[in-house]
Structures are given as C-alpha cells and as structure tokens.
Amino acid sequence: MRAYLQLMRPANIITAMADIMAGFAGSGLITEIIVHWEKFPFPTVLPLLLLSTIGLYGGGVVFNDVFDAKLDAIERPERPIPSGRATLQGAIFLGVGLLLLGVLAAFMVSAISGIIAILISALALLYNKYGKHHPFLGPINMGACRGGNLLLGVSAFPDALHEWWFIALIPIAYIAAITSISRGEVHGGNKSALLLAFILYSLVILSIAVLGLIQSSQSYKWLQVLPFLALFAWLIFPPLSRAWKDLKPQNIGKAVKAGIIALIVMDAALAVSFGVWWYGLLILLLLPVSRFLARQFAVT
C-alpha cells in the first residue's frame, strides 16, 4: 500500500490542491459567497474540484513511473516499480482509476471543468511519454499541466475563464523552471538551466506583484501580497543558489524539492493578489501538511 502511495507523490498532490484553491480565488466566487452565500453551491463545487485534482495529479505522476519503469531499473532501482514493491500492472490500474476519478469529478462541476480535466490528463500522459525527453517542449508541457490545473479552479465560475485565462502562464513559467532544474537530478546540473530557473522565478514573482497592483482598488491592499512573495522568494532562491555553487545531484534534488513545496506559497500569493488575504493564509496551512508528507514520501 505504501509503495502505491509513494507513486502518487502525496506531498505534490497537496500542492495541486493549492492550485485549485488559488484558481477558485480568481473565479471571484469567494467574495460572492460571503455576500450571497445562500445562492452558491460552495459546499460541493470546491470539494469536487479538489477531488478532481487529486485524481488528475495522482494519476499523472503514477504514469510517470509507469513509463519510466525500464529506465528506473537502471538509474533509480529503489523506486516502487523496479524494486518490486509495486507491480507495473497495479500501477497502470491505479493511474487509470485516478485519471477517471479526476475527469468524472470535474464533469460533476460543469462541462467546461470536465473538458479542462480531460486536457490536463492528455497533457500529463503526453509529458510522461514524450515531453520529458524534449529539452525545450518538456518543461512547457509540464507547466501547461499546472496551468490547466489552476484554470480548473477558476472554472468553478466558468465565465471567469474569459477574464483570467492568462494567469495560467504563471504556473507554466514556474513549473518550466523546476522541470528545467530537475534534468540534473541524476547526473548533476548545469548552470544554464539554473540561470533560466532564476529568470523564470523572478518573472513569476513580478507577475504576481503586478497582478495584485492591478486588482487593488486601494493601494494599501496591494501591500498584503508582499509578505507572501517574500516567503516565496525565501523558499526558492537559497536552494537554487546552493545548487549554483555546487552542481552535484543532491543539491539539484533539494532545489527541485524546494520549488515543488513552494508552489503552495506561490498559490497563496496569487490568491492574495485577488484581494483575499485571509484565503491566502488558508492556503498556506497546506504548507506544513505538504512538508510533512515530503518527509514521508519522495516528491521527485
């Protein structure tokens, strides 16, 4: 059982849930629910979208190990499938079941949510089979999965997608940076990939700050996003700096792990940029959960 849980990367799934919650903030439903709580299906919509992302992300990363089973037998024999703790057939069954769960839960919210979930599933499988082997399109492919996940949260109110579709570019850039770094986990990194990650990280922080400035009708409200961005920067830049100084695989792995866990803080900052500071704190509560799970299960 533990081996199959490890295939699902539980700590990473928590970060995917943070994407949904940030997207939900972008949908504008939080403010509407507070004012007109009796008119909105909040008790079902958000939990269904969270269930959907658990299935989509969990299924996607399970298939990562399915497609990599032969390579992992050589490079990472300690992983669940090559070590024999999980069977290839069992992993395939689990992955298919999780993806179906994710799609069905999304369709229970709306047809648009269901279509987005199908696209996320297709992008995840495309990445696992082909994208990860391409030095340029691979990081974009993986980033598109997370961007789609953010929009899945926005789809809680489908009309909001027309206004906020472009925020998907933020996780696309961020995940592209992490994916670029992760290519050096086995044999060591290179400084070009780390420099690209630094640039993309900086652009993400700047984009969220600008989004908050645009959204804030009162200047002081924009300042609410700054502590979240400061925490975000504190989590991602020091490990990246250590990897730059010493390109050994262990440092690269720590930089990747820090980037994945910090996704929760990025999502919290994004939610606050929409003017919902307390909701950003709620998302931050996922951080200790993810960090705890990261100590129990591998995140890469």
Taking each helix axis from N to C terminus, what angle separates 10-27 and 263-273, rounded to the nearest 10 degrees?
Answer: 10
Query: What's the rounded Cα separation, in Å, for the pair 177 and 292?
Result: 24
- 2-296 domain in CATH 1.10.357.140? yes
pLDDT in tens, 115-138: 999 999 999 999 999 988 887 788
pLDDT of residue 58: 97
**Which DSSP helix (H) or strand (E) runs through 68?**
none
Where residue 300 falls among pLDDT bands split at 50, 70, 90?
low
Taking each helix axis from N to C terminus, what angle separates 137-154 and 111-129, rounded to the nearest 10 degrees?
Answer: 160
Q: With b meaning 16 or more CB within 10 Å and e meaning fewer, what string describes 162-197?
A: eebeebbbbbbbbbbbbbbbbbbbeeebeeebbebb
Comparison of pLDDT for 65 and 276, the residue scoring more: 65
Where residue 262 falls among pLDDT bands split at 50, 70, 90?
very high
pLDDT in tens, 276-297: 789 999 999 999 998 899 888 8
pLDDT of residue 67: 94
pLDDT of residue 203: 96
pLDDT in tens, 138-194: 888 989 999 999 999 999 999 999 999 999 999 999 988 888 888 755 555 678 888
SS3 of 109, please? coil
Comparison of pLDDT for 106 and 252, the residue scoring more: 106
Percentage of the chain beyond pLDDT 90 is 58
How high is the mean pLDDT of the chain? Answer: 89
pTM: 0.90
pLDDT of residue 145: 94
Domain boundaries, the chain: 2-296
Where residue 198 falls among pLDDT bands split at 50, 70, 90?
very high
- Dig out the tokens for 156 from the structure: 């809680």
For 87-155, where are the alpha helices, taking DSSP H only? Answer: 88-107, 111-129, 137-154
